[in-house]
Structure 1
Amino acid sequence: LIPTDLYFSDLDGDWNADGDGYWGEWPDDEVDLYADVFVSRFPVVAPGFVDVVVGKTLTYEKEIPAGHTTRALFLGARLDSYTWGGDCKDYVAELVPDQFKPITKLYQKLGNISRAAVIAQMNAGNCAVVNHAAHANYTIIGTGPDNMSGADAYALTNGDKLGWMYSIGCMCGGFDRYQSFAENIVLAPEGGMVAAIMNSRYGWYTPNGPGIGPSDRLDQAYFRAMFQKGMTNFGYALADMRDQWVPAAKGNAYYRWCIYENNVIGPNETLGWTDQMQTLAVEHPDHWSHGGFPVSVTAGGSPVKGALVCLFKEGDCYVTGRTDASGQLTLYPDASEPGEMLVTVTGQNVWPYEGATTVDDDVSAGDVRFAGAAGEEGVLLSWRLEETAGLAGVNLYRNAERLNTAPLAPEAGGRYLDRAARGVNDYYLELVQADGAALRYGPISVSALGETAWLALSAAYPNPAAGLVSFDLELPADGSVELAIYDLSGRRVATAASGELAAGRHTVSWDAGGAPAGVYIARLVTADGALTTRLVIAR
């Protein structure tokens, strides 16, 4: 049995389709092995543990010392008479950007690795990124002539000089045993790691073939996702690593084993640092009462593209969006009560910005509130109605074009995503009375994001589908694109798109009229990475 958090990430079926009580068998249990959501695990069984991991996560994100974020430590011991773990690590080192070099290497082939040497390097803070190749078990990792124990990991004293660690060692991430090595190093109260990506069962290398074993390949894929594809959230990188090797895993039990056993112990959404940090310069209004809320984000004098901006007023307003290539964003909050509204801005390799604005006493109120915000998938419109009696329906307009084909239900609140928005548009909310009379509110002007900050693939729509099914693609750069459709056996059944596309948003359609009923996987492959989404064909 292999403990795996892929069970919570791959949402296809119940993982026991054949009913034999053995979960996740492929292909009998109809799992497709692709991640539908991103998942990681906090190793907490008591409130004190929660305080430790949440505190360390916030320290890593907000208070990590300057100059620490690019210190890398690679560890390699002898794997057998023919294979050195250090040789395996050197393949991974090629994927690490220059700002992390020279990498501190403690290798048994160099005669400089030991338990004491590893602990000394970690306690000194040379551990922003740690990669390990040696034998291990639940409670120890190999350090050449000796071992580093979970107790050693728990006792680390590197303080706020936190990092993350990847190991191909056997079972050191076995969360089915109380406090594995991975759990100990994440729970260490005075230091350790913020995240550990480790195996819950045996790792698999290739004797006399450093760098080509299944565990080696996944190790390289994780570092490629983190440092070359820009998928720096710990959980996102894990999903991308797995996705790259799903086709191989469907025909090779060793790769399938490794996909199951790799898990993230630590935060899922946290961004791993990939360079020295910068300070954000954020400009926004000090007071707001109605209309747009403009935000400008720069770092080092240059605009920051793709920064995540959040406006939050507890119990009243929550709206987010990402800055465009010029570092600009206008949000349309729907706060209805005066008071303080928090403004936060986060991004890759920048200190988070935490500010506030005052919602004035004359904030727009009344029986109707209508707002819009540009996001990665389009413009999200939202509305609140204090009174719905006598209403027959709600309509939405982009300029003169009605967006909904049939009137929307006149509920107290609603949302609508305009995926086709381009440029700056005026939006209107129309309330239709039972007698046919209509009252229009607006306009609100929203500027759709002109560029996407990263690769994105929407859910299929409609889903389930019987005929034509569509997907929205967001491409960060011009390049070759392929969108292919696979059945659950891994067989390609169609190619929806193949060729060169410009950066930006595109809609691709596939006629599924001839496909048998069942579950299918759409896989988008570009030079910037690969993404998947699931769809159902119904007959």
Structure 2
Amino acid sequence: MVAQATRNAFRASPLILTALLIAVTALATSQPEHISLDPGSTDNTPHWRVISADAASLRLEFTLGALGAEDISAGGETWQSLVIEGGTVQGDEGAPGLPTAGRLVAVPAGASVFGRVIGFETVSLPSTRLYPIQPGRDEAFAVDRDAYARAGWRRLDVPAAKTAAVAADPTAPVVLIGEPAIMAGQTVVPVTVSPLAYDAVSREGVAARTIEIELTFAGGATPASARPVAASFDTWLRGNASGYDALRAGKSATGAALPGTYALVRHGDAAITSRTAALEDWRRRQGYHVEIVDVDVVGNNTSSIKSALQTIYDDTSIPPLEFVTLVGDEDGTYGVDTWIETLSGYNGPGDHYYVTLDGGDILADAHVGRLSFSTLDELDTMVAKIVGYEQTPPMGDTSWYGSASLQGDPSASGITTVYVNRWLKGHLEALGWAHVDTTWSGNFAGAFTATVGQGRSLYGYRGYLGMSGIGTSTIHNLNNGGELPVAILPTCDTGTFTQGECRAEAWLRAPNGGGIAAVGTATQGTHTRYNNCYYHGIWNGLLYNADHRVGVAHSLGKIELYNNYQVAEPARVEIWSTWNSLMGDPATDPWLGVPVALSVDHPASLSTGATAVPVTVTSGGSPAAGLVVCVYRDGAFQVSALTDASGAAVLSVPSLAAGTMLVTVGGHGYLPYLGSLGVGAFDVFCGL
């Protein structure tokens, strides 16, 4: 059945701006609108529901209440951009842009996947002149006049060698099924839905508001490894990969959200080991299983380092590999080698390939970051920043925890650099952030120093090559002390760390402030569409994912690229996944609010021979559930558990010998508790 859609003006939602910024490198714009596909709906977020799932097939329902819409003036004409929240637009350069949405679907290991559309419901759209796909950056407005003069229904072209589900009806939606890939041990396929058919001559459109898709499974894909899914991936997959819950039914999450394995890749020189010891000890206290990859032993080249990481990843006797931290710049006395992608022609550097460890695909199977230093003093600064930020953040003036600085310069990369930051500001304010500074024009460097220099928790920049006059020296000269932001700046050349110091490196190196972590993009060949897509994904992960650690958010930015572009533009996904590099420790959990204090009760001492440590945790007089408790004795044992609904955890330990053990309690948003207890000869001991 075909119904009639309605178009209405409305107050711009941050969600609709999200999709518009990915779709448009626009010129002049009007007030955003929506086109209701379901009567009265303004919800342009796609909804995915598993109808049924078994070992042979999965039925998936896609529903869409509305399309985001905006009038755009370009080339002396007025156009309309139609978008789906979290999606993108696809098509040939200069041709009408068709909105799409992507989703990962979890499938059985070893399966090849085939799909078909088995039902859909469409609505006709008001007269629409679709905005053409643009080349990006500051290039001239592009329009393919032949494409707009071609009569007949146009749907998304099906890429060669892709399994597609296309109904015979020329106005039916198109569903593309990508190749199986493996994410941290779980096989997934990307599904792309293009709900719109369009006739450029008549300016008519037909959009699907519901689509029922059937996926069927057969043997033939690369089998997944036997390793369990790490907790950070398990958390995300449960909420964002259709079919995952059904596949995991009856299987417990690995370590029940306990820390996994943390691999530190560094030189074995005493000058390095003495400086990273505090970070290694802190990660062990938190409950991470720490593995050291000594590049002086395994070889300081990408293949040898990846081989060592692969061995750790494949070892099922230890917790799943979750974080990889490279210690060193890519060259110099203490350098650690990096990769160079060869797809773009720009030869951009990046560390992403170090964590593509399962399935031979481009998806990350662990979270990676780099502590890039050029002097030993800089390494001292970095370790002190990370440990201090995580253990004892500044609590004198707590206003910096609810503050952010966002800058968008449209002068060369278009209005979407502003839109993306307006979207981010709207979400921060909805989350209760009291102070969000914005700069859209004028003296960007001066505004940067004036705001970030006062202390901010987050900093975001979208703009163009040169970062609007904000150089590495501007970052080094910040005096914000320990009030350190996470900085996200996916813009040309902000992450080219193989050609001197890049802006992303400067944040953690800065001696009197700077930031706790930063992401920049390598090369001068970046593109607004893909930069914005990553920017949306990392911020969405940092703010809304249940696991807020910066390395996890970085991986989710890359997954956003995969969801939107893998089926049609896989090379772009690989390039941008490589070019975007995290300079910082991927296991850092950022402060997104004022830290909350904990009250922890445990014995001050235990008798030798005791085999259990009882711990109770409260906050503000109420039980604190779901926090990680770790008891640790260097060289002897490390045991972790989660607090239950009553705030209690009882940790079973080996029969205790005399000495001291460390007790650590932590969780997102809580000031960590660092305590200890003694073990000696007493008349009474606690045992199980």
Give the SS at the match of 1:230.
Answer: coil
* 1:73 correspondence with 2:405: yes
Single out whichever of 94-103 and 288-297 deviates more from structure 2: 94-103
Residue 369 of structure 2: aligned partner: 40
Q: 1:274 to 1:306 in 2, by over 3 A?
A: same
Q: Percent identity?
A: 25
Residue 352 of structure 1: aligned partner: 672
How far off is 1:263 after superposition?
1.5
* 1:63 and 1:160 in contact (8 A); partners too: no
How far off is 1:250 after superposition?
4.7
Q: Letter of the aligned partner of 2:562 in structure 1?
A: V
Q: 1:203 to 1:342 in 2, by over 3 A?
A: farther
Q: 1:82 to 1:11 in 2, by over 3 A?
A: closer
Aligned-pair RMSD on alpha carbons? 2.4
Count the aligned residue pairs.
Answer: 334
* 1:189 correspondence with 2:529: no
**Structure 1 Cα separation of the partners of residues 414 and 664 of structure 2:** 53
Residue 355 of structure 2: aligned partner: 9
Q: 1:330 to 1:51 in 2, by over 3 A?
A: same
* 1:100 correspondence with 2:433: yes
Give the SS at the match of 1:310.
Answer: strand
Residue 547 of structure 2: aligned partner: 231
How far off is 1:35 after superposition?
1.4
Residue 342 of structure 1: aligned partner: 662
Q: 1:100 to 1:358 in 2, by over 3 A?
A: same
Q: Flag the structure with higher helix content.
A: 2
Q: 1:116 to 1:352 in 2, by over 3 A?
A: same
How far off is 1:321 after superposition?
1.7
* 1:282 and 1:296 in contact (8 A); partners too: yes
* 1:86 correspondence with 2:390: no
Give the SS at the match of 1:157.
Answer: coil
* 1:95 and 1:224 in contact (8 A); partners too: no
**Structure 2 Cα separation of the partners of residues 221 and 94 of structure 1:** 16
Give the SS at the match of 2:574.
Answer: helix
- What are the superposed Cα offsets for residues 15-52 of structure 1, whole Å, 9 maximum, x if unpaired? xxxxxxxxxxxxxxx74111112211001243222211
**Structure 1 Cα separation of the partners of residues 547 and 642 of structure 2:** 16
How far off is 1:84 after superposition?
5.3
Give the SS at the match of 2:578.
Answer: helix
Residue 629 of structure 2: aligned partner: 309
* 1:222 correspondence with 2:551: no
Q: Which runs of 5+ in 2 are unaligned?
A: 1-346
Give the SS at the match of 1:254.
Answer: helix
How do 1:134-149 and structure 2 match up within 5 A? 134-136=463-465, 140-142=466-468, 147-149=469-471
Residue 25 of structure 1: aligned partner: none
Q: Letter of the aligned partner of 1:251 in structure 2?
A: A
**Structure 2 Cα separation of the partners of residues 276 and 308 of structure 1:** 19
How do 1:433-512 and structure 2 match up within 5 A? none
Q: Letter of the aligned partner of 1:243 in structure 2?
A: I
- What are the superposed Cα offsets for residues 201-253 of structure 1, whole Å, 9 maximum, x if unpaired? 347455xxxxxx22112111111111111221111111122223324235313
* 1:123 correspondence with 2:449: no
* 1:79 and 1:85 in contact (8 A); partners too: no
**Structure 1 Cα separation of the partners of residues 451 and 376 of structure 2:** 30
Q: Letter of the aligned partner of 1:132 in structure 2?
A: Y
Instruction: Work out which structure has the larger RCO, using CA pairs closer than 8 Å and 6 or more positions apart in sequence.
Output: 2
* 2:598 and 2:619 in contact (8 A); partners too: yes
How far off is 1:183 after superposition?
0.9
**Structure 2 Cα separation of the partners of residues 296 and 203 of structure 1:** 54
Residue 602 of structure 2: aligned partner: 284
Residue 323 of structure 1: aligned partner: 643
Q: Letter of the aligned partner of 2:665 in structure 1?
A: V
How far off is 1:8 after superposition?
1.0
**Structure 2 Cα separation of the partners of residues 114 and 165 of structure 1:** 15
How do 1:413-428 and structure 2 match up within 5 A? none
**Structure 2 Cα separation of the partners of residues 347 and 55 of structure 1:** 20
Q: Letter of the aligned partner of 1:359 in structure 2?
A: V
How do 1:218-297 and structure 2 match up within 5 A? 218-247=534-563, 248-252=565-569, 253-289=571-607, 290-297=610-617
Q: TM-score, normalised by structure 2?
A: 0.46
**Structure 1 Cα separation of the partners of residues 525 and 649 of structure 2:** 46
* 1:203 and 1:215 in contact (8 A); partners too: no
- What are the superposed Cα offsets for residues 476-516 of structure 1, whole Å, 9 maximum, x if unpaired? xxxxxxxxxxxxxxxxxxxxxxxxxxxxxxxxxxxxxxxxx
* 2:478 and 2:513 in contact (8 A); partners too: yes
Q: TM-score, normalised by structure 1?
A: 0.58
Q: Letter of the aligned partner of 1:5 in structure 2?
A: D
* 1:95 and 1:220 in contact (8 A); partners too: no
How far off is 1:178 after superposition?
2.3
Q: 1:84 to 1:6 in 2, by over 3 A?
A: closer
How far off is 1:114 after superposition?
2.4
Q: 1:81 to 1:149 in 2, by over 3 A?
A: closer
Give the SS at the match of 1:326.
Answer: coil
Q: 1:4 to 1:250 in 2, by over 3 A?
A: farther
